[in-house]
Amino acid sequence: MMVIAAPGEMTRYSSAALHRGERIGLVPTMGYLHEGHLTLMREGRRRCSVLVASIFVNPTQFGPGEDLAHYPRNFERDCAMLRAVPVDVVFAPEPAAMYAPDAQTWVDAGEITRGLCGAHRPGHFRGVTTVVAKLFNIVKPHLAVFGEKDFQQLRAIQRMVHDLNFDVEIVPVPIVREKDGLAMSSRNAYLSSAEREDALALSLALRAAQEEHRTGARCAEEIVLAATGVIARHKGVAIEYVEAVDAETLAPHPSLDRPILLAIAARVGKTRLIDNAVLEPQPCARPEGEGHPDATNRRRV
């Protein structure tokens, strides 16, 4: 496994690989890897002949007062985990190599980034789409793998790829959870054992919402209420938002005839956690007179 820090060297490596006819896959991460990241790596490995993992704690996606300075890091352990996948190249640039002091250009995926986390983290998604566009240009992948854990990020990147004609296939991977339901996250490392218990409120809330949806909720508000009710019982958890939106467009006031994204952001102590679930339409919930949804037209998200 090679470790490359210089963007120019990464591009030369990729150009040579493309020349040999290799199929390049990229898995962008901020490091401090866990089983969720490794699931993305294995998906990339299965689909490509050359697999590149990037580790870059991207400063432009952190706001003032966020955890950029304290973000957990363990490069040696990450490399050992990536070697076992196996990954071919770890691209781990320094911030100064990615952003020139006089850089001016941003990529903004528009409306899809305005709600949910975008409303609470101004500038966050602009930082994400800008760095991912740069990674695509540097690594030149055929495909890139992203987790549904960061569902709005996935949609923003799909939007960017479509709007800017990036010739990169975006491969989504479902959320990987601990046995008790907690979505894996590098930020779980911040949690004390009491906070770790409280953090279960998010996945329990999603389960309650799924049950409400399955058993005949009449509108998205009822689904949101089922989720907020569960979180309210956990005193150590402060809701930032619990929202139901259209899973494709992320627009508010979703119709129950279409897949719905139920997304949660909450603070457990000082740690900000996110989780989500996609609720597929229930055939029996459709109004009388309408046909059953055509399964072949349903996109799995």
Provide the binding-site residues for ligand AMP, judged by CB under 6 A.
29-30, 36-37, 40, 146-147, 149-150, 173, 175-176, 183-186
- For the CB of residue 128, give the shortest distance to ligand AMP in the complex, in Å: 9
Q: Which is nearer to ligand AMP, 169 or 221 (CB)?
A: 169
Cα torsion angle, 289, 291, 292, 298, sign: negative
SS (H, E, C) 118-154: HHHCCCHHHHHHHHHHHHHHHHCCCEEEEEHHHHHHH
Smallest separation (angstroms) from ligand AMP to the CB of 288: 39
Tell the smallest beta-carbon distance from residue 294 to ligand AMP (Å). 29
Q: Shortest Cβ contact with ligand AMP: which residue?
A: 147
Q: Which is nearer to ligand AMP, 126 or 220 (CB)?
A: 126
As a whole number of angstroms, the distance between CA 137 and CA 127 comes to 16
Query: Which one, 58 or 210, has the nearer CB to ligand AMP?
Result: 58
Specify whether 37 is catalytic. Answer: yes
Instruction: Choose among 212, 214, 246: nearest CA to 227.
Output: 212
C-alpha distance from residue 229 to each of 56, 210, 224, 245 (Å): 37, 13, 9, 18
Q: Do 26 and 44 touch, CB atoms closer than 8 A?
A: yes
Chain mean position to CA 169 = 16
Using the structure block, give the residue that is written with the tokens 């793998």.
145
- Minimum CB–partner distance for residue 41 and ligand AMP (Å): 9
Q: How far is the CB of 8 from ligand AMP (least distance, A)?
A: 24
Of 150 and 246, which CB lies nearer to ligand AMP in the complex structure? Answer: 150
Handedness of CA 27, 31, 34, 36 (dihedral sign): negative
Among 232, 234, 148, CA closest to 199:
234
- Report the alpha-carbon distance of residue 235 to residue 130 in Å, rounded: 37
Please compute, for residue 294, the number of CA atoms within 13 A of its CA located in the half-sphere on the CB side. Answer: 2
Nearer to ligand AMP, 118 or 147 (CB): 147
Catalytic residue among 37, 124, 213, 234: 37
Instruction: Yes or no: say if 239 and 231 are a contact pair by the CB < 8 Å rule.
Output: yes
Smallest separation (angstroms) from ligand AMP to the CB of 253: 26
Q: Which is nearer to ligand AMP, 184 or 244 (CB)?
A: 184
Which has the closest alpha carbon to 100: 60, 139, 132, 63?
60
List residues with catalytic annotation.
37
